[in-house]
Chain A
């Protein structure tokens, strides 16, 4: 039978080309895999959730608490179906697994990106995969945001209101854009069906297609080799093959990891729709986006309000804070491979301390994101009397620039120190070697 299949499907070629792909043996190379596993679990749990979810914001009678015939208790159908999902056996846990997985997928993707950045794995010939990776990150964020809106509780409602406002803040075309994206003026009758389409069809389709491209290119170009490979066999691919060595490791990792997330989901509640309640006229106090978008939120909080009219278009603080500024940040990240002008192909992952400027720039960038995320907590900082309404913006602005600068020079200093120690070490061994002669 093997022969029969092979004659038709050329499995031996597939075997040579893909199944024998060598995986580098180093734990930091698992981060990408974890991202991939999360995506798979997200799709499986997402399909299960979609089976029980009702994508509509028309009002229906609450079947748990119907009220009276004269005054029925009405809820948006989407919110009502979220309550129903919670009432299913393990339904709440299914929702939480989906939610935690999404958070962890983005976390793993960010760590994976950091690994690639700090070891110089984005250099020629892998620039294209860096760019695809950046797109993946952006679309993953969009998918997460649309997912937030689907339960259509008060929290989701407030969130989508702000997102609508940000979309509408684009000069000239904002109104049209927001109405096209959210099916009419907020809160349109078709807003949930529209977002549902984005979240279960459009965005996952894009994510899957780009993930496939990401991995095909990776297989074609091979992983960067870890440093030990240089010593073992120079310019040769070193690692364990996908079939049959890497596969059990992957499976074990996937199961362990999924189990861990399930444990999270079982014990750590997240987005309690019952607590937020259906959309209402009183907003949710202290509403915050997820951690990976907190920096945008922080930027919005510290950019003072202004509006300028240019040729009939209004440029507002929201547009600058939520569109232009993140655009610059993402543009910088896109530009990373172009800053490197090496002609040769990069075979080996670098030791981060070998390029102190790149390392320090990365650390400073992360420090800046961190400070801006803290700025997202401005209301809390004011409430706890660490800052006041009057000085909050000034102090947060200063920190936004001072802390990254400090971390930049601090990192360079530390790297210099490490180098000096290393060189001293080498000199010493050399001296001893001579003494032995």
Chain B
């Protein structure tokens, strides 16, 4: 009876362990996936987290003057750091500081010093506004006295604010975007949001889609 092979009707121990391990792994993976599903909370847009919008007033971001409107007389070629201030649903004013990338730098140059790619019709008498979030890794750059450049302290990215904030040194992949501005009495009022995609958005289409969504949500 050399051909005899024992027919075991019961599950072998090895088989049982393998099946148990397989089931365990499957259940574990599934629960992990569902746990990861709850990890990302839903995004609720509130006015303080909305992007800069047309009609917003620029106010100081600096702790000393926080919330006071930026006056045209305070400006120079050194950036004044500001946040846009808009209105809540109930009509009260709200500073859009909940989204740190809303920070902007306000500059004033000789109107003739501004060159392309700066969008001249988005400026007012030499006053020009750019995002103040480095497009590389999102640090906050500072403008440097007498040199007409904006310098990012993180990896020494450099921008030229008289020429559309184009990159003139370091790793940033794209210029910091411009915003439209005009002087109304003693206040600076935005005539548009970021004209091109700001830090955090892959391209102009994605940014415009988000802007439209934000405008609808807040309307």
Contacts and interface: CB of A to CB of B under 8 A. Distances in A.
A165 B199 CA distance: 9
B138 A165 contact: yes
Interface in A119-175: 158, 161-162, 164-166, 168
Contacts of B138: 161-162, 164-165
Contact of A179 (B40, B63, B81): B40
A184 B40 contact: yes
Interface string A386-411: 00011010000000000000000000
Interface residues of B, number: 38
A408 B152 CA distance: 36
B139 A281 contact: no
Given A283-B140, A382-B156, A186 B173 contact: no
B141 to A, nearest CB: 8
A305 interface: yes
A183 B40 CA distance: 6
Contacts of A309: 202-203
Interface residues of A, number: 44
A168 to B, nearest CB: 7
Contact of B136 (A158, A283, A305, A378): A305
Nearest to B168: A389
B156 A301 contact: yes
Interface stretch (A247-255, A310-318, A424-432): A310-318
A378 B63 CA distance: 30
Given A300-B137, A378-B156, A317 B61 contact: no
Given A184-B40, A282-B142, 20 more contacts: A162-B137, A162-B138, A162-B154, A166-B137, A283-B139, A283-B154, A286-B153, A287-B154, A300-B155, A301-B171, A305-B135, A305-B167, A305-B171, A317-B173, A318-B137, A379-B154, A379-B156, A389-B169, A390-B169, A392-B156
Interface of A: 158, 161-162, 164-166, 168, 176, 179-181, 183-188, 190, 280-287, 300-301, 303-307, 309, 314, 316-318, 378-379, 382, 389-390, 392
15 contacts: A161-B139, A164-B138, A168-B200, A183-B39, A185-B43, A281-B100, A281-B103, A282-B61, A283-B139, A283-B154, A305-B136, A305-B173, A309-B202, A379-B155, A389-B170
Interface of B: 36, 39-41, 43, 49, 61-63, 81, 83, 97, 99-100, 103, 135-140, 142, 153-158, 167, 169-174, 200, 202-203
